[in-house]
Amino acid sequence: MKNIYLLLLSFLLISCSFNQFYKDRESDKTDGEKIPIKFYWELRYGKNPDDIYKLFGEKFFEVTDKEKLVKLMNTVNAIGPVEEYNLAKWETMVVKGNNARSQYFFMYNVKRGTKKTEESFTLEKNKEGDIKIVGYRVNQDLLNE
């Protein structure tokens, strides 16, 4: 009987997953925010558009091909050049352990010439440990112009 209890206890421990969950840590914000900052730097000063595309992950390109991203970037740049951007909202979630994953969300208020946009980034850490953009959204209020 003792062996049965020991066997059941070992199956229970083997099937358990041990994870550490971190939400909205300042250190995770700092790690994730490097990507949107690099994105805006490349938009303002970069000479090679491929440097922007390298910031996007495979998950992004599963939904949106590179030609659509080029079209989106051209449309956004037609609104006006980035003059300033301010972080309006951020969220992070990092899970370490058996089911490890890292997800980040940043929303910026962006001044583009005389117009303003609200731009949000969804980021994830890939298997190599690099944080990549998996979602990019631009909102512009056309009624208040």
- 80 falls within a domain: yes
Q: What is the pLDDT of residue 3?
A: 72
Query: Is residue 50 included in any domain, yes or no?
Result: yes
Tell me whether residue 115 is in a domain.
Answer: yes
Residue bearing the bigger pLDDT, 84 or 7: 84
Amino acid identity for residue 35 in this structure: I
Q: Range of 128's domain? A: 19-140
Domain assignment of residue 24, yes or no: yes
Q: Could you tell me the pLDDT band of residue 14, with boundaries at 50, 70 and 90?
A: low
Q: Decide if 6 is inside a domain.
A: no
Which CATH number is 63's domain given? 3.10.450.50
| Mean pLDDT of the residues in the chain | 89
| Residue 27 half-sphere exposure toward CB, CA atoms < 13 A | 2
Domain contains 13: no
Identify the pLDDT of residue 5: 66
Rounded Cα distance between 141 and 77, Å, is 16
**What's the structural domain count of the chain?**
1
Instruction: State the amino acid at position 47 in one-letter form.
Output: K
Question: Hey, which residues does 50 pair with through a beta bridge?
Answer: none
What's the mean pLDDT in 84-91?
96
**Lateral strand order in the sheet of 19-23:** 19-23, 82-97, 101-112, 115-125, 131-139
- Nearest Cα neighbor of 77 from 49, 105, 108 is 49
CB count within 10 Å of CB 55 equals 20
Which residue, among 46, 43, 108, has the nearest Cα to 77 in the 3D structure? 43
118: left (phi over 0), alpha (psi -120 to 50) or beta: beta
How much is the pLDDT for 7? 63
Q: How far apart are CA 36 and CA 58, in angstroms?
A: 17
Q: Which of 8-17, 37-46, 68-77, 104-113 has the lowest mean pLDDT?
A: 8-17
C-alpha triplet 114, 122, 17: angle, nearest 5°: 165
